[in-house]
Structure 1
Amino acid sequence: MSTVDDVHALAAAMPHVTALEGPKGNTIYQVGGKSFVFFRTPQPDAADPGTGEKYPDVIMFWVESEEDKDALVRDPTTPFFTTPRFDGHLSVLLRAAHLHRIPREELAEIVQDAWLSRASPRRREKWLNG
Protein backbone atom coordinates (compact mmCIF):
# COMPACT_ATOMS: atom_id res chain seq x y z
CA MET A 1 0.00 0.00 0.00
CA SER A 2 1.03 3.60 -0.56
CA THR A 3 2.89 6.00 1.70
CA VAL A 4 3.79 9.70 1.70
CA ASP A 5 7.28 8.69 0.57
CA ASP A 6 5.68 7.05 -2.47
CA VAL A 7 3.88 10.29 -3.36
CA HIS A 8 7.17 12.18 -3.20
CA ALA A 9 9.08 9.54 -5.17
CA LEU A 10 6.44 9.22 -7.88
CA ALA A 11 5.99 12.98 -8.34
CA ALA A 12 9.74 13.65 -8.37
CA ALA A 13 10.30 10.89 -10.94
CA MET A 14 8.13 12.54 -13.58
CA PRO A 15 10.04 14.49 -16.27
CA HIS A 16 10.69 18.24 -16.03
CA VAL A 17 9.55 18.37 -12.40
CA THR A 18 10.50 21.05 -9.94
CA ALA A 19 9.91 20.49 -6.25
CA LEU A 20 9.32 23.70 -4.34
CA GLU A 21 8.98 24.36 -0.65
CA GLY A 22 5.97 26.46 0.24
CA PRO A 23 6.18 29.26 2.81
CA LYS A 24 5.11 26.88 5.60
CA GLY A 25 7.43 24.03 4.57
CA ASN A 26 4.88 22.18 2.44
CA THR A 27 6.12 20.52 -0.75
CA ILE A 28 4.73 21.52 -4.13
CA TYR A 29 5.53 19.57 -7.31
CA GLN A 30 5.34 21.49 -10.56
CA VAL A 31 5.81 20.85 -14.25
CA GLY A 32 6.40 23.90 -16.44
CA GLY A 33 5.59 26.17 -13.49
CA LYS A 34 2.18 24.51 -12.91
CA SER A 35 1.47 22.56 -9.73
CA PHE A 36 0.28 18.98 -10.12
CA VAL A 37 0.80 17.59 -6.59
CA PHE A 38 0.51 19.97 -3.67
CA PHE A 39 0.93 19.14 0.02
CA ARG A 40 -1.51 21.54 1.65
CA THR A 41 -1.11 23.27 4.95
CA PRO A 42 -4.04 22.82 7.36
CA GLN A 43 -7.08 24.69 6.02
CA PRO A 44 -10.57 25.26 7.47
CA ASP A 45 -12.28 23.58 4.51
CA ALA A 46 -10.79 20.17 5.40
CA ALA A 47 -11.41 19.47 9.05
CA ASP A 48 -12.61 16.72 11.34
CA PRO A 49 -16.41 16.99 11.43
CA GLY A 50 -16.52 16.07 15.11
CA THR A 51 -13.77 18.26 16.54
CA GLY A 52 -13.33 20.92 13.86
CA GLU A 53 -9.59 20.26 13.95
CA LYS A 54 -8.01 21.04 10.57
CA TYR A 55 -6.49 18.03 8.85
CA PRO A 56 -2.70 18.47 8.80
CA ASP A 57 -2.08 15.94 6.01
CA VAL A 58 -4.13 16.86 2.93
CA ILE A 59 -2.55 16.31 -0.47
CA MET A 60 -4.05 17.86 -3.60
CA PHE A 61 -3.77 16.11 -6.98
CA TRP A 62 -4.79 17.82 -10.21
CA VAL A 63 -7.09 15.95 -12.58
CA GLU A 64 -7.80 16.30 -16.29
CA SER A 65 -11.53 16.95 -16.13
CA GLU A 66 -14.62 17.32 -13.94
CA GLU A 67 -15.55 13.79 -15.01
CA ASP A 68 -12.24 12.44 -13.71
CA LYS A 69 -12.69 14.35 -10.47
CA ASP A 70 -16.24 13.12 -10.06
CA ALA A 71 -15.20 9.51 -10.72
CA LEU A 72 -12.53 9.61 -8.00
CA VAL A 73 -14.64 11.44 -5.42
CA ARG A 74 -17.81 9.40 -5.92
CA ASP A 75 -16.09 6.01 -5.93
CA PRO A 76 -16.75 4.61 -2.44
CA THR A 77 -13.64 2.42 -2.67
CA THR A 78 -11.29 5.43 -2.79
CA PRO A 79 -10.48 7.93 -0.03
CA PHE A 80 -10.44 10.93 -2.39
CA PHE A 81 -12.65 13.87 -1.50
CA THR A 82 -13.31 17.49 -2.32
CA THR A 83 -14.78 20.47 -0.51
CA PRO A 84 -17.04 23.31 -1.68
CA ARG A 85 -13.91 25.49 -1.82
CA PHE A 86 -12.78 23.35 -4.75
CA ASP A 87 -16.00 23.43 -6.75
CA GLY A 88 -14.92 24.06 -10.33
CA HIS A 89 -11.25 23.37 -9.51
CA LEU A 90 -9.78 20.41 -11.35
CA SER A 91 -8.30 18.67 -8.35
CA VAL A 92 -9.05 16.07 -5.72
CA LEU A 93 -7.94 15.90 -2.11
CA LEU A 94 -6.59 12.97 -0.13
CA ARG A 95 -5.48 12.68 3.48
CA ALA A 96 -2.02 11.14 3.82
CA ALA A 97 -3.47 9.09 6.69
CA HIS A 98 -5.56 7.26 4.07
CA LEU A 99 -2.81 6.55 1.54
CA HIS A 100 -2.60 2.97 2.83
CA ARG A 101 -5.98 2.37 1.17
CA ILE A 102 -4.52 2.94 -2.30
CA PRO A 103 -2.28 0.37 -4.01
CA ARG A 104 1.03 1.89 -5.13
CA GLU A 105 0.22 1.12 -8.79
CA GLU A 106 -3.01 3.10 -8.53
CA LEU A 107 -1.20 5.96 -6.80
CA ALA A 108 1.34 5.96 -9.64
CA GLU A 109 -1.53 6.39 -12.13
CA ILE A 110 -3.01 9.26 -10.07
CA VAL A 111 0.35 11.07 -9.97
CA GLN A 112 0.99 10.45 -13.67
CA ASP A 113 -2.49 11.67 -14.57
CA ALA A 114 -1.94 14.76 -12.41
CA TRP A 115 1.32 15.44 -14.26
CA LEU A 116 -0.35 14.87 -17.64
CA SER A 117 -3.14 17.30 -16.74
CA ARG A 118 -0.64 20.11 -16.18
CA ALA A 119 2.23 19.39 -18.59
CA SER A 120 2.48 21.16 -21.92
CA PRO A 121 1.12 19.33 -24.97
CA ARG A 122 4.68 18.76 -26.22
CA ARG A 123 5.85 17.27 -22.92
CA ARG A 124 2.69 15.15 -22.63
CA GLU A 125 3.13 13.75 -26.12
CA LYS A 126 6.84 13.03 -25.60
CA TRP A 127 6.18 11.21 -22.31
CA LEU A 128 3.22 9.22 -23.66
CA ASN A 129 5.16 8.17 -26.78
CA GLY A 130 8.47 7.62 -24.99
Structure 2
Amino acid sequence: MSTWNDVGRIALALPEAVEGQAHEGSPAYDVQKRQFARLRWDDDRREVLQFWTDDREALVQDRPEAYWITKAFPSAVFAHLDRLDVGELREIVTESWRVRAPKRLVKAHPEVS
Protein backbone atom coordinates (compact mmCIF):
# COMPACT_ATOMS: atom_id res chain seq x y z
CA MET A 1 0.00 0.00 0.00
CA SER A 2 1.39 3.39 -1.02
CA THR A 3 0.58 6.96 -0.02
CA TRP A 4 1.19 10.45 -1.36
CA ASN A 5 4.19 10.66 0.98
CA ASP A 6 5.73 7.72 -0.91
CA VAL A 7 5.11 9.56 -4.18
CA GLY A 8 7.01 12.54 -2.76
CA ARG A 9 10.03 10.52 -1.70
CA ILE A 10 10.24 8.90 -5.14
CA ALA A 11 9.53 12.05 -7.14
CA LEU A 12 12.01 14.30 -5.34
CA ALA A 13 14.81 11.79 -5.96
CA LEU A 14 14.40 12.35 -9.73
CA PRO A 15 16.48 14.98 -11.55
CA GLU A 16 15.08 18.52 -11.41
CA ALA A 17 11.84 17.39 -9.78
CA VAL A 18 10.18 19.94 -7.52
CA GLU A 19 7.04 20.17 -5.45
CA GLY A 20 4.31 21.95 -7.33
CA GLN A 21 0.64 22.64 -7.30
CA ALA A 22 -2.15 21.90 -9.74
CA HIS A 23 -4.27 24.79 -10.99
CA GLU A 24 -6.87 24.29 -8.25
CA GLY A 25 -4.27 23.89 -5.50
CA SER A 26 -3.87 20.13 -5.11
CA PRO A 27 -0.31 18.86 -4.52
CA ALA A 28 1.77 17.85 -7.51
CA TYR A 29 5.35 17.21 -8.61
CA ASP A 30 6.81 18.95 -11.64
CA VAL A 31 9.85 18.63 -13.84
CA GLN A 32 10.71 21.89 -15.57
CA LYS A 33 7.18 23.25 -15.04
CA ARG A 34 5.44 20.12 -16.32
CA GLN A 35 3.44 18.00 -13.90
CA PHE A 36 4.36 14.36 -13.74
CA ALA A 37 2.50 13.36 -10.57
CA ARG A 38 -0.63 14.89 -9.08
CA LEU A 39 -2.73 14.03 -6.06
CA ARG A 40 -6.48 13.71 -6.44
CA TRP A 41 -9.14 12.05 -4.32
CA ASP A 42 -12.03 9.82 -5.28
CA ASP A 43 -15.56 10.16 -3.91
CA ASP A 44 -14.58 8.12 -0.84
CA ARG A 45 -11.60 10.46 -0.18
CA ARG A 46 -9.10 7.76 -1.17
CA GLU A 47 -5.82 9.10 -2.53
CA VAL A 48 -5.58 8.90 -6.32
CA LEU A 49 -2.40 9.46 -8.30
CA GLN A 50 -2.64 11.11 -11.71
CA PHE A 51 0.37 10.28 -13.88
CA TRP A 52 1.49 9.87 -17.50
CA THR A 53 2.78 6.86 -19.40
CA ASP A 54 3.12 5.62 -22.95
CA ASP A 55 1.52 2.29 -21.98
CA ARG A 56 -1.88 3.37 -20.63
CA GLU A 57 -4.04 0.60 -22.05
CA ALA A 58 -1.78 -2.21 -20.81
CA LEU A 59 -1.88 -0.92 -17.23
CA VAL A 60 -5.66 -0.67 -17.25
CA GLN A 61 -6.06 -4.10 -18.84
CA ASP A 62 -3.67 -5.78 -16.41
CA ARG A 63 -4.97 -4.15 -13.22
CA PRO A 64 -8.40 -2.50 -13.69
CA GLU A 65 -8.93 -2.52 -9.92
CA ALA A 66 -5.99 -0.14 -9.53
CA TYR A 67 -5.76 1.86 -12.79
CA TRP A 68 -8.21 3.70 -15.03
CA ILE A 69 -8.39 6.38 -17.68
CA THR A 70 -11.05 9.00 -18.44
CA LYS A 71 -12.09 10.90 -21.54
CA ALA A 72 -11.75 14.16 -19.61
CA PHE A 73 -7.98 13.65 -19.31
CA PRO A 74 -7.01 11.76 -22.47
CA SER A 75 -3.27 11.62 -21.84
CA ALA A 76 -3.31 10.78 -18.11
CA VAL A 77 -3.76 7.61 -16.08
CA PHE A 78 -5.22 7.40 -12.59
CA ALA A 79 -4.42 4.92 -9.82
CA HIS A 80 -5.65 4.30 -6.30
CA LEU A 81 -2.48 4.67 -4.25
CA ASP A 82 -3.67 2.13 -1.68
CA ARG A 83 -3.69 -0.52 -4.44
CA LEU A 84 0.00 -0.05 -5.34
CA ASP A 85 3.06 -1.37 -3.56
CA VAL A 86 6.05 0.95 -3.34
CA GLY A 87 7.99 -0.91 -6.05
CA GLU A 88 5.17 -0.55 -8.56
CA LEU A 89 4.72 3.08 -7.52
CA ARG A 90 8.42 3.76 -8.13
CA GLU A 91 8.09 2.34 -11.66
CA ILE A 92 5.08 4.45 -12.64
CA VAL A 93 6.34 7.70 -11.07
CA THR A 94 9.71 7.25 -12.78
CA GLU A 95 8.03 6.45 -16.11
CA SER A 96 5.81 9.51 -15.73
CA TRP A 97 8.90 11.67 -15.12
CA ARG A 98 10.49 10.26 -18.31
CA VAL A 99 7.35 10.93 -20.35
CA ARG A 100 6.94 14.50 -19.10
CA ALA A 101 10.55 15.68 -18.77
CA PRO A 102 12.23 17.41 -21.70
CA LYS A 103 13.97 14.84 -23.91
CA ARG A 104 17.39 16.47 -23.37
CA LEU A 105 16.97 16.06 -19.60
CA VAL A 106 16.01 12.40 -19.96
CA LYS A 107 18.98 11.86 -22.26
CA ALA A 108 21.29 13.53 -19.72
CA HIS A 109 20.16 11.06 -17.03
CA PRO A 110 20.31 7.53 -18.47
CA GLU A 111 20.52 6.19 -14.91
CA VAL A 112 16.82 7.02 -14.43
CA SER A 113 15.09 3.87 -15.55
* TM-score bracket for the superposition, by shorter chain length: 0.7 to 0.9
Aligned-residue CA RMSD (Å): 2.2
User: Using the alignment, how far apart are the partners of 2:80 and 2:101 within structure 1?
Assistant: 24
Corresponding residue for residue 31 of structure 2: 31
In the TM superposition, residue 13 of structure 1 has moved relative to its aligned partner by 1.4
In the alignment, structure 1 residue 61 sits paired with structure 2 residue 51: yes
For residues 105 and 78 of structure 1, do their structure 2 counterparts lie closer, same or farther at Cα, with a shift above 3 Å needed?
farther
**Amino-acid identity (%):** 31
**Larger relative strand fraction:** 2
What is the TM-score normalised by the length of structure 2?
Answer: 0.82
The residue matched to 1:82 in structure 2 has which SS?
A: strand
Q: Is the 8 A contact 1:20 1:29 kept in 2?
A: yes
Q: Is the 8 A contact 1:72 1:78 kept in 2?
A: no
Q: Is the 8 A contact 2:22 2:38 kept in 1?
A: no
Q: Is the 8 A contact 2:66 2:79 kept in 1?
A: yes
The residue matched to 1:20 in structure 2 has which SS?
A: strand
List per-residue Cα deviations over 1:20-79 (Å, max 9, x = no partner).
Answer: 234654211111111100113x5xxxx6xxxxxx3533220111x2xx000111113760
Greater C-alpha Rg: 1
Q: Is the 8 A contact 1:62 1:117 kept in 2?
A: yes
Farther-moved stretch of structure 1 (113-122 vs 20-29): 20-29
Corresponding residue for residue 58 of structure 2: 71
What is the TM-score normalised by the length of structure 1?
Answer: 0.72
Matched residues, number: 111
In the TM superposition, residue 9 of structure 1 has moved relative to its aligned partner by 0.8
Corresponding residue for residue 102 of structure 1: 84
Report the AA paired with residue 124 of structure 1: V
